[in-house]
Structure 1
Amino acid sequence: MDTRDLARIDLNLLIALQVLLEEGSVSRAAERLYITQPAMSKTLTRLRSLFNDPLFTRSSHGMQPTPRAQELARSLSDILGNIRQLVAGEKFDPASVNTEITIALSEYIGVTLLPTLAERLQRQAPRLRLRIVTRVENQLEQLALGNLDFALHINQSHYGPAYRLLPLGGSPPAILVRENHPLCNSAFGIEDLADYPCIRLYVSDREHAEERSVLEIVDRMSHPGQGALEISHLMTAIEVLRSTNYYMFGPSYLTQNEKLSQGITALPLPTDEQYSVEYSLVAHQRTENSPLHNWLWEQISDTIRDLRPAPPRKLRQRVPATR
């Protein structure tokens, strides 16, 4: 290997470029690198000379990377990660982890996954801090920006090559009501739902969901002037269901949780079409070389695999409504 060209390069410039790409601001990059803003500006000048490109241009929205900078961004994170791993040379030890990981997932996923996952992580990484967020839009963007480490969500219609995906399987949507709800006593159609108020659970990034048809048919089953409760707190919604004539659209697998679903019945949608809502675990390629993130990916996927064997409770058979 001819190392003469490499010997003339200050590798600290690559670190500075990575920070500039992440922050999109000279002042914020200077703060992260603990240098002054004029020093950061001089570093940017050296980077422009090194790559013979402006790298960033100014706009009303701040610094925008040039095509050359975007090209560098696609490989720079991996290069720096490999150098860091090469220098560290230490085997990853979960027990020594003392950091925070942020995961986006809805409460109806969390109520099934988190108890088992938290128990597993408590044993292996007792100082790991999990931050769970249930309401966050633009999740792919937030993953790319580093505001999220993982997302577990309804499949989106498009994922770029920068994302790592693990399909988690699916569940048919159901109408959840209390036991002995009037809808349980006879066949019903879409129009009959107008007689009862509806609980609408929050769904992130609805406009990007792959199963738009499912969400759209659920929307069509709602009626103007119908009473409604919009909420992201599943446990509260279930308590409302138990004591009222509200109904709620939700994944049928919720009935697997006996404590949660006590007193709750899952009814099939009043349509002859069959639907399934599919879910995925997602991470951004920026974490591909992180031993912590790779280990957590395995812990999440193993937990989901262990939870999967029990099939969801069979929905009550639907008989077409007649009027």
Structure 2
Amino acid sequence: MDSLNLQKIDLNLLVALHALLQERSVSRAAERLHITQPAMSKTLGRLRELFGDPLFTRSHGGMQPTPRALELGIELGTVLGDITRLVSGSLFDPYTYSGEVTLALSEYVGVALLPSLIQRLHEQAPRLSIRTITRVENQLEQLATGNLDFAIHIAQAHYSDDFRTHLLGSAAPAILVRTEHPLTEGEITWERLALYPMIRVYVPNLEHVELIRTSDAFVRVRDPRQGSLETSHLMTALEVLRNTDYFLPGPAYILQNASATGGITALPTPAGTDHQIKYMLIAHRRTSHSALHNWLWQQITETIGNIAVGDPALDTGREPATISTRPTHQPDGPS
């Protein structure tokens, strides 16, 4: 496209040509566009100069379009419709929308959320592609630059006004072990936990997380001679749990996915670790007026609400499953 030539074109001329083609009368076209007849006559002169063609000739039956005008008329309606949609925005239809959305979330959340969410989206938006990333640092920065559309993560202490946030729910931490683990009998204490090796699963932006320091507490009380495993793959961690005496600090709600967590049970954490892990849905304000993003925001919140029903391990605090914007604050770090 030659943008320099396009700058010379007054798009109002195309609107006027469209009216002339439909009305076949200068006076009626002028009335339709709420301008005077002399102004429309002048506009017709400019159109003839622009296209290098008379466009219309007079006859007993009124103005007759030339072959060139008829050619222009074939595409003119589509062109003007495209420009109108470009300026005003077209009506969003999830069922016919085709595109990709990128979502950052931990594997803990993915195991619980994605099966239900993807089923819901496949029914309502079958052409929509969802790309999930489980290991990404500086998520707020990635949202701001457009590399991410949404993030679901453990609540940070502060968020700036550049982000809209929604509390999806909260859950108490648990001790995940195999169903036949020795820890399933008797009280869970720090001393008993120190006897067994621990698995730590990667959590992005841990330095900005609001209050979860459970894993650090386990490290402080454990026997340094005891082994441990650190991994970014939850499925690997769960398979290790099923076949060893390792334990994993994590949220009990992942047990809702029975196919992924078969043979694993959740035990309470030692006394004094009764805090809640809060999960937030985050988007940058640049998407606030996007019909796609607002629709998907609602699908995520409603899916989480449905998952939480009847599950005591995930307390949503009776948050309504709708789009909402909470007060935000300045983040501690650059992310």
Question: How far apart, CA to CA, are the structure 1 residues paired with 2:252 and 2:190?
Answer: 18
Change (3 A) 1:98 1:157: same
Q: Structure 2 counterpart of 1:191, which letter? A: E
Aligned residues: 232
Match of 2:194, SS state, is helix
Confirm or deny that 1:154 pairs with 2:154. Answer: yes
Gapped runs of 5+ residues in structure 2? 1-82, 315-335
Give how far 1:109 is off. Answer: 0.5
Structure 1 residues 23-172: aligned runs within 5 Å: 87-172=87-172
Question: How far apart, CA to CA, are the structure 2 residues paired with 1:199 and 1:129?
Answer: 33
Match of 1:267, SS state, is strand
Q: Structure 1 counterpart of 2:272, which letter? A: D
The residue number in structure 2 matching 1:268 is: 268
RMSD over equivalenced CA pairs, Å: 2.2
TM-score by length of 2: 0.65
Match of 1:96, SS state, is coil
Question: How far apart, CA to CA, are the structure 2 residues paired with 1:152 and 1:95?
Answer: 24
Q: What are the superposed Cα offsets for residues 275-297 of structure 1, whole Å, 9 maximum, x if unpaired?
A: 11010100000111111111111
Q: Contact 1:154–1:277 at 8 Å: present in 2 too?
A: yes
Give how far 1:91 is off. Answer: 0.9
Question: How far apart, CA to CA, are the structure 2 residues paired with 1:188 and 1:305?
Answer: 31
Give how far 1:269 is off. Answer: 1.2
Q: What are the superposed Cα offsets for residues 20-60 of structure 1, whole Å, 9 maximum, x if unpaired?
A: xxxxxxxxxxxxxxxxxxxxxxxxxxxxxxxxxxxxxxxxx
Give how far 1:100 is off. Answer: 1.3
Q: Structure 2 counterpart of 1:236, which letter? A: T
Change (3 A) 1:219 1:208: farther
Q: Structure 1 counterpart of 2:303, which letter? A: T
Change (3 A) 1:309 1:85: farther
Point out the more displaced range, 201-210 or 83-92: 83-92
Gapped runs of 5+ residues in structure 1? 1-82, 315-323
Q: Contact 1:113–1:303 at 8 Å: present in 2 too?
A: yes
Match of 1:278, SS state, is strand
Change (3 A) 1:297 1:84: farther
Question: How far apart, CA to CA, are the structure 1 residues paired with 2:148 and 2:89?
Answer: 26
Question: How far apart, CA to CA, are the structure 2 residues paired with 1:100 and 1:222?
Answer: 45
TM-score by length of 1: 0.67
Give how far 1:196 is off. Answer: 1.6
Q: Contact 1:252–1:312 at 8 Å: present in 2 too?
A: no
Q: Contact 2:157–2:208 at 8 Å: present in 1 too?
A: yes
The residue number in structure 2 matching 1:210 is: 210
Q: Structure 2 counterpart of 1:231, which letter? A: T
Question: How far apart, CA to CA, are the structure 2 residues paired with 1:249 and 1:309?
Answer: 23
Change (3 A) 1:306 1:130: same
Identical-residue share of aligned pairs (%): 53
Q: Contact 2:201–2:231 at 8 Å: present in 1 too?
A: yes
Give how far 1:94 is off. Answer: 1.2
Q: Contact 1:175–1:266 at 8 Å: present in 2 too?
A: yes
Point out the more displaced range, 98-107 or 232-241: 232-241
Structure 1 residues 271-310: aligned runs within 5 Å: 271-310=271-310
Q: Contact 1:202–1:231 at 8 Å: present in 2 too?
A: yes
Give how far 1:222 is off. Answer: 4.3
Question: How far apart, CA to CA, are the structure 1 residues paired with 2:234 and 2:193?
Answer: 21
Question: How far apart, CA to CA, are the structure 1 residues paired with 2:267 and 2:230?
Answer: 20
Match of 1:180, SS state, is coil
Q: Contact 2:163–2:283 at 8 Å: present in 1 too?
A: yes
Change (3 A) 1:113 1:84: farther
The residue number in structure 2 matching 1:193 is: 193
Q: Contact 1:196–1:245 at 8 Å: present in 2 too?
A: yes
The residue number in structure 1 matching 2:61 is: none
Match of 1:272, SS state, is coil
Give how far 1:192 is off. Answer: 2.5
Q: Contact 1:162–1:284 at 8 Å: present in 2 too?
A: yes
The residue number in structure 2 matching 1:253 is: 253
Question: How far apart, CA to CA, are the structure 1 residues paired with 2:221 and 2:266?
Answer: 16
Q: Structure 1 counterpart of 2:145, which letter? A: L
Question: How far apart, CA to CA, are the structure 1 residues paired with 2:163 and 2:293?
Answer: 13
Change (3 A) 1:200 1:151: same
Question: How far apart, CA to CA, are the structure 1 residues paired with 2:203 and 2:113?
Answer: 17
Q: Contact 2:197–2:246 at 8 Å: present in 1 too?
A: yes
Change (3 A) 1:137 1:313: closer
Q: What are the superposed Cα offsets for residues 134-178 of structure 1, whole Å, 9 maximum, x if unpaired?
A: 001111111111111000000001100011111011111011111
Change (3 A) 1:205 1:245: same
